[in-house]
Amino acid sequence: MPLFPVHRDPATAAFFDGTARGEFLLARDTTTGAWLAPQTDVDSRDELERVPAAGTGSVVSWAVVPGRGERTEPTVVAIVQLDEGPWWWTELVDVDPHGDLADLRVQAQFMPSGPGEHDEQVPVFAPVG
Amino acid sequence: MTDSTTDSAFRPNTAIAGLGMTELGKVYGRTARQFAVEAVQRAAADAGIGVGDIDGLLVSTGISPGYGIDLQGDLGLTDLGLLSSVQGYGSTATQMVQYASMAIASGMVDTVACVWADDPLKEKTATSAAYRAAGSLPTGWRALTGTANILTPNTLYALAARRHMLAYGTTQDQFGAIAVAQREWATMNPLAQFRTPLTLEEYHASRWIAEPFHLFDCCLVSNGGIAVIVTSAERAADLAQPVVQVLGWGQSHPGRSGRRNDDFGLVTGAAQSGPRALQMARTTLDEIDVVELYDCYTYTALVSLEDYGFCAKGEGGDFVSTPGMLGPNGKLKVNTGGGQLSSYYMWGMTPLSEAIIQARGQAGERQVDAHHRVLVSGNGGILDHHGTLVLGTD
C-alpha cells in the first residue's frame, strides 16, 4: 500500500499518464534500441521515446520495514530488475515477508496513492501468476 | 616505480595538531552552533594555540541546519585566508582535512580548523524519531520511491546489505560479529554511549530496524561537535601534542544511478579512494596498524574492509567472523573506540577522532601497541561518497 499520496510534477507527468492507463513507461533510444530508466528526460533528445514496458521483472534485493504508527504490517521493499533492463525501487505486495524472495518473478500492479482526485496511481509489484 | 612514487611527487607535509570534542551523546539544551564553537575552542586549546591563531575555517553540519560559514563570527575570527562549508555527508571529515592540507601546502593559510557538529536528538523524543523528523516528504521521482516506504538510509542500506548477502553468502552472524567486536572495544572507551558487552544472542534478539538489519547493525544517534586543527608538520612539531602527520588521501564518488544493474551493495568507492591514499602516503596495507572505518551499519564496515583489500571481495563475512580477527585481542585493530555502532555518531568525525587519539597514543585502556600508520575511512550518502586518509607518526 502506498505510504502517502503522490502528485505529478513536470518531470513525472508522462509517467503518471502511463500509470493511469495501467502502463509502466520506460524510455527507449530509437537509434540503438536501448531501454532506459523511466526517469530519463525523454524530451531532451529527439531519438528518445516513451514505450510501455512488459511490467515484469525479477527481485534483485529486498528489505522488510517493520510496521510503525498507523501502518501495523511490515512493508516489503525491493529493487526489481525489469525484463527490459532498468531497475525500479518499489514495494512488493502479496509476498511472505519472511520468505526467500531472491530472483522472484514479479509483475507491476497499479494502485491509487491516495483518495484525492490528484493522487496519482503508483506501481507496486506482486508475484507473477 | 610509477611517477607518483618518485621523490618529485606531492607530499602533504601537514599534520593534525589539535582535537576538540564536546560532550557527546544525549546532551540536551545546546545547539549545533554552540557545540561547534566549543569544539573549535577545545581543539585550539588541545593544540596549544589561541583561537585567534586560526587563519582558515572549514565548517560542516549533520542534519541540523545549525550554522554555516557565519560560525566565523561566533568564533570571533577575523581576516581569515580560507573559509568554506564542506558537504560530502559521511566523507566530509576526511575531505575537510584534505582541503585544509591543500590550502596549507599552497601557502594560502597556516592553521585551519575543521569542525562538524549536530543536534538531532531532542529531549523526551525517541532516538529513532530524530532522523525521521528531519526530512519532509519527497516530491517528484523520489516521491515514488518514498511512497513505497523506501524513505530512510536504514532501508536503502538494508537493500545494499541484502544484495551483498545474496551475491557472496554473507550472513547475519557475520554482521553480528562486527557489532560484538566493536562493543568490546567500546567497553574501554569512556566516551562511548554503549559500554556494556554485547553477545551475538543479544544482537540477534534486538528488534528489526529494516530487515536484514537489527538495531545493533545500526549506528547511534548523537548530539555534539568535534573539531580538528590542521597545520604544517613543521609547525605541529612545536605545538602541544604528539604530531599526527597527514601522509596521504583519496576520494571517490562513483556516481551510480541505481537505475540499472551496477555494483550497488557489492563495491564501494573505498576501492578507489583507498589505493589512492596509500599511494600518496607511500605505504601499503600491510603497514597499516590501525583502521578506523565509517560504520553507519555493520555491513558498511564489512564491505569497506573488502574494498580496502584487507580481504578479497566477497570474503568479508568469513574475514570478520574468523576467531581472533576483530576486537581488542584481534589481529586487525578496527574501530578501536567502538565506532558509530557503539561509541558516538559524529559522522566522519567518529573514525577521524579515534584515529587521532590512537595515533597519539592517548587511548588509555584501549590503546593499541603499534600505531604508526592509521587508515581513516569516510563514507557518505548511500555508498555514494568516499574519503580516505592515511595518518602517521614518523
Average pLDDT over chain A, rounded to an integer: 96
Nearest of B358, B349, B376 to residue B43 by alpha carbon: B349
* Cβ within 8 Å, pair A3-B160: no
The closest CB to that of A6, out of B147, B208, B264, belongs to: B147
Taking CB atoms and an 8 Å cut-off, how many pairs form between chains A and B? 103
A77 contacts in B (CB within 8 Å)?
148-150, 155, 159
- Residue B137 domain flag: no
The Cα B64–Cα B69 span in angstroms is 14
> Residue A72 sits in a domain of what CATH number?
2.40.50.840
- Residue B323 domain flag: no
Polymer length in residues for chain A: 129
For residue B89, indicate whether it is catalytic: no
Asked if residues B330 and B291 have their Cβ atoms less than 8 Å apart, the reply is no
Closest Cα in chain A, distance from residue B243 (Å) = 45
Query: According to the model, what pLDDT value does residue B138 have?
Result: 86
Q: A59 forms bridges with which residues in the sheet? A: A80
- For testing contact with chain A, the best of B142, B150, B152, B175 (most A CBs within 10 A): B150
**pLDDT, tens only, A18-74:** 999 999 999 999 999 999 999 999 999 999 999 999 999 999 999 999 998 888 899
Query: According to the model, what pLDDT value does residue B133 have?
Result: 57
For residue B345, indicate whether it is catalytic: yes
The closest CB to that of B159, out of A5, A75, A79, belongs to: A79
Half-sphere exposure of B288 (CA within 13 A, CB side): 30
Residues of B with a Cβ under 8 Å from any A Cβ are 137, 139-141, 143-151, 155, 158-160, 162-163, 166, 207-213, 257-261, 264-265
Closest Cα in chain A, distance from residue B79 (Å) = 45
**pLDDT, tens only, B121-136:** 998 887 767 666 556 7
So what's the ipTM on this one? 0.97
B146 contacts in A (CB within 8 Å)?
3-4
Nearest of B337, B272, B359, B334 to residue B309 by alpha carbon: B272
The Cα B153–Cα B337 span in angstroms is 23
* Cβ within 8 Å, pair B148-A65: no
The closest CB to that of B162, out of A63, A91, A97, belongs to: A63
Residue B339 CB burial class (10 angstroms; 0-12, 13-18, ≥19): buried
> Which residue type is seen at B54?
I
**Average pLDDT for B73-82:** 98
Task: Determine phi and psi for B280, rounding to 5 degrees.
Answer: -60, -35
Host domain of residue A44: 13-127
Q: Active site residue: B67, B294, B299, B344, which one?
A: B294
**Average pLDDT for B46-56:** 98
The Cα B322–Cα B341 span in angstroms is 20
* Cβ within 8 Å, pair A39-B259: yes
Query: According to the model, what pLDDT value does residue B216 have?
Result: 98
- Residue B7, pLDDT > 60, answer no
- For testing contact with chain A, the best of B136, B151, B162 (most A CBs within 10 A): B162
In chain B, the number of structural domains is 1
Query: According to the model, what pLDDT value does residue B9 have?
Result: 75
Which residue has 584534505 as its cell numbers? B98
**Rounded (5°) CA angle B62-B67-B72:** 130
The Cα B351–Cα B293 span in angstroms is 6
The closest CB to that of A63, out of B140, B144, B210, belongs to: B210
**pLDDT, tens only, B203-255:** 999 999 999 999 999 999 999 999 999 999 999 999 999 999 999 999 999 99
Element (DSSP H or E) covering residue B210: strand B208-210
Nearest of B272, B229, B282, B270 to residue B11 by alpha carbon: B282
> Residue B38 sits in a domain of what CATH number?
3.40.47.10
Query: According to the model, what pLDDT value does residue B134 have?
Result: 56
**pLDDT, tens only, B241-292:** 999 999 999 999 999 989 999 999 999 999 999 999 999 999 999 999 999 9
Query: According to the model, what pLDDT value does residue B3 have?
Result: 46
Query: According to the model, what pLDDT value does residue A48 have?
Result: 97
The Cα A95–Cα A38 span in angstroms is 25
Query: According to the model, what pLDDT value does residue B127 have?
Result: 74
Half-sphere exposure of B373 (CA within 13 A, CB side): 17
In chain A, the number of structural domains is 1
Query: According to the model, what pLDDT value does residue B2 have?
Result: 46
* Cβ within 8 Å, pair B147-A86: no
Q: pLDDT band for B6, please (50, 70, 90 cuts).
A: very low
Helices and strands (H, E) in chain A, number of each type: 1, 8
The Cα B218–Cα B157 span in angstroms is 10
Average pLDDT over chain B, rounded to an integer: 95
Distances (CA, A) of B158 to A28, B212, B347: 31, 6, 19
The Cα B386–Cα B92 span in angstroms is 9
Q: Name the pairing type of β-strands A48-52 and B56-61.
A: unpaired
- Closest residue in B to A84 (Cα–Cα): B260
Task: Determine phi and psi for B222, rounding to 5 degrees.
Answer: -140, 150
- For testing contact with chain B, the best of A71, A79, A88, A109 (most B CBs within 10 A): A79
User: What part of A 56-115 touches B (C-beta under 8 Å)?
Assistant: 60-66, 74-75, 77-79, 81, 85-87, 89-91, 97, 102, 113
* Cβ within 8 Å, pair A63-B159: yes
A112 contacts in B (CB within 8 Å)?
none
Closest Cα in chain A, distance from residue B167 (Å) = 10
Asked if A25 reaches chain B (Cβ–Cβ under 8 Å), the answer is no
Host domain of residue B103: 3-118
